[in-house]
């Protein structure tokens, strides 16, 4: 877990130094757990927002993902964070949302995409 925090902090610092943070919350991660995946199945994290894209990793229910906040259709998880959980889930239910993860568990974090139907806000 410490390596996840260090990697997120390193990304935030790098983005700030490089001027990549155009919005005030662009470098903040939102934690959303995997939920609603059928018994015995996992949520696939993919390289691009498409079910035909290369799979990077698979996560079971309960796994907490680091969400970048960005979802297809112009939705930002941080912008809808104040809404009731039911409304947040409905807003992203049929959208792909970006995560920041370490699929190989070797300290090399990459962006990936998960389907919003299977994540839920804290």
pLDDT digit string (tens) for the chain, length 122 residues: 444 444 444 444 344 433 343 344 445 789 999 999 999 999 999 999 999 999 999 999 999 999 999 999 999 999 999 999 999 999 999 999 999 999 999 999 999 999 999 999 98
Q: Is residue 33 part of a domain?
A: yes
The total domain count for the chain is 1
Q: What is the pTM of this model?
A: 0.77
- CA 108 – CA 39 distance, rounded (Å): 29
On whether residue 74 sits in a domain, the answer given is yes
Report the b/e string of 20-55 with b at 16+ CB within 10 A.
Answer: eeeeeebbebbebebeebeeeebbbbbeebeeeeee
15 lies in some domain: no
Rg, C-alpha atoms of the chain: 14
Parent domain of 82: 28-118
**Structural domain includes residue 99:** yes
Are the C-beta atoms of 8 and 15 separated by less than 8 Å? no
18 falls within a domain: no
Query: Can you give the CATH number for the domain in which 112 is found?
Result: 2.30.30
**Is residue 13 included in any domain, yes or no?**
no
């Amino acid at each position: 877990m410490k390596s996840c925090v260090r990697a997120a902090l390193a990304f935030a610092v790098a983005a700030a130094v490089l001027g990549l943070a155009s919005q005030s919350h662009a470098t903040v991660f939102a934690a959303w757990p995997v939920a609603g995946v059928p018994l015995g199945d996992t949520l696939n994290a993919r390289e691009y927002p498409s079910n035909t894209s290369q799979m990077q990793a698979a996560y079971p229910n309960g796994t907490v993902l680091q969400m970048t906040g960005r979802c297809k259709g112009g939705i930002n998880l941080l912008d809808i964070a104040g809404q009731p959980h039911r409304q947040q889930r409905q807003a992203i239910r049929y959208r792909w949302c970006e995560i920041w993860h370490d699929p190989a568990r070797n300290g090399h974090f990459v962006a990936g995409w998960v389907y919003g139907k299977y994540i839920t806000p804290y």
